[in-house]
A and B are shown apart, each in its own frame.
Chain A
Amino acid sequence: MLALERVGKTYPNGVEALARFSSEIAEGEIVAIIGGSGCGKSTLLRAIAGLDRASTGTVTLDDEAIAAPHAKIGIIFQEPRLLPWLSVADNIGFGLADLPAEQRRHKIAQALARVGLADKAAAWPRELSGGQAQRVAIARALVPQPEVLLLDEPFSALDAFTRRDLQDHLLDLWADTRPTLILVTHDVDEAVVLADRVLVMRPRPGRLFDQIEINLARPRDRNSPLFETFKRSVLASLDRSLDRSVPDREAALGPGQAMWW
């Protein structure tokens, strides 16, 4: 279980990007974090990844405090961030340097086949399309089998078709080992199609405003009326999060307790 306890981040220039963020995320859960720009959602993700230290509060994974990048936590960024001097196969194997060569080759081949890029093993990253490059990034993050996979707006730079395709593909991959997924997004559709739970954040300072459980069976039909209902409730919550006259619900509730409805 990943526990976030009153996590806050104040940058050296005095900007409070994140304040008192508390939540508990169960193993294998898919959580989407959504909110307007500057609501601290990326800051939160970087704190969980151990890339930036939280100023206050703690991030703990299975009772282990996270202050630096951890073997059990992987991350996929908005850009693929492939290393241009490594072939696609070597990029995927980047985190497996400690394994014997034979085992590493086997895992890379498996991962390549799993993301449908077996024929691209020897290609350079520059030869890939945006969607293919992001698939490689997903494979690179998944191949060390992390318990928690963080995704920072992973599909926002892709066109609508590729985005849908990769969302479905991500769920498909998730089903293999069921890691915990924490997805930062600004796309309501994406949040509802992927997540078990949507956390809505509000800005200045970034904090938890609301959470909405998506009780929909997978695979989810993006055109079903129920899907629309969930989308509307997330949108409504997002609207209220930007209205300064509405008080924080989170302030009154403990983490993971009663919902707004």
Chain B
Amino acid sequence: MAMSVELPALEQIAEQVTAAPRGTAVTRLSRHAWPMLGLVLPVGLALGWELAVWLGLSSGRLVPPPSRVIVTILELARSGELTRHVVATLSRVGLGFALGVVAGTLLGAVSGYWSLARRLLDPTVQALRAIPSIAWVPLFILWLGIFETSKVALIAVGVFFPVYLGVMGAILSVDRKIVEVGRIFRLSGPAMIRRILLPAVLPAYVVSLRVGLGLGWMFVVAAEFMGASEGLGYLLIDGQQLGKPAQIVAAIVIFAILGKTTDWLIEIATAPLLRWQDAFGHERGA
């Protein structure tokens, strides 16, 4: 008799257990559906333009339809040209980014940690920062020549400033209360840096790396405009001079893909280190 009383209760529990996965399935759907929403506008526009050219509403000579851009990219890829240009651009960005990050991190850390260095160094750096970096181009060409060195230097300058500012600002804004915890546990100087300052600075540092990388991609175009014989920037200039808009758009698309991919790589590489963050974006699933 008692069994018949308990049975409905068991059924209820079973129902709750099966209900749980159903709830997560819904959230999984919305998690994948939301980014898709962002594709509606660009894909819609591209398809619309493709259709307009196909219907003969426009010749698509100045604004090439997506199919023609894709064909251009495929042709470039087949001839091996694409790899050559991408490698040239990537190696310039990579080298310039590395130099800019190393210099920005070192000087930023010194200025952030040591107030005498900040008094000495920071006003000069801030004054240099006020100069539009493209203004350096003629000087860099005079000093470093027209080839790789001046290009890498320009990219490094672009990357340097956001990283420098990011590192210095982050060190200066480390919570004094957290530093006091380190003092209470009698951490030595290096231990204080490793166990308190570095983790505290990391989120802002990652942001500054990403901003720096974005500027690196911006400056590589400027660098490749000043007389390059290969690279995506060269493809742009070449497309303009020979009247090949599809090649220009193709280069722009590849820039977008490379920029987004490298940014995403930084994000992926640092994500495990930043899991602890209590950020607004995490809660919203954005």
Contact = CB atoms under 8 A, between A and B. Distances in A.
Contact of B180 (A51, A86, A125): A51
Contacts of B199: 83, 85
B276 A81 contact: no
Contacts of B195: 94, 97
A49 B277 CA distance: 30
A71 interface: yes
Contacts of B196: 83
Interface stretch (B35-43, B182-190, B204-212): B182-190
B278 interface: yes
Interface-centre pick from A85, A86, A125 (highest chain B CB count, 10 A): A85
Contact of B177 (A77, A86, A94): A77
Nearest to B196: A83
A70 B186 CA distance: 7
Contacts of B191: 97
Contact of A94 (B181, B202, B277): B181
Contacts of B202: 85
B178 interface: yes
A205 interface: no
Interface string A150-161: 000000000000
The size class of the interface chain A forms with chain B is 20 to 34
A40 interface: no
Interface residues of B, number: 18
A70 B195 CA distance: 19
Given A79-B177, A81-B177, A85-B199, A74 B276 contact: no
Nearest to B181: A81
Nearest to A68: B186
Given A81-B177, A81-B178, A75 B184 contact: yes
B276 A95 contact: no
Nearest to B185: A95
Interface in B163-200: 177-178, 180-181, 183-186, 191, 195-196, 199-200
Contacts of A68: 186
Contacts of A77: 177, 180
Interface of B: 177-178, 180-181, 183-186, 191, 195-196, 199-200, 202, 275-278
Interface of A: 49, 51, 68-71, 74-75, 77, 79, 81, 83-86, 94-95, 97, 124-126
23 contacts: A51-B183, A51-B184, A69-B183, A69-B185, A69-B186, A77-B177, A79-B177, A81-B177, A81-B180, A83-B178, A83-B196, A84-B276, A84-B277, A85-B200, A85-B202, A85-B276, A86-B276, A94-B185, A95-B185, A97-B191, A124-B275, A124-B278, A126-B276
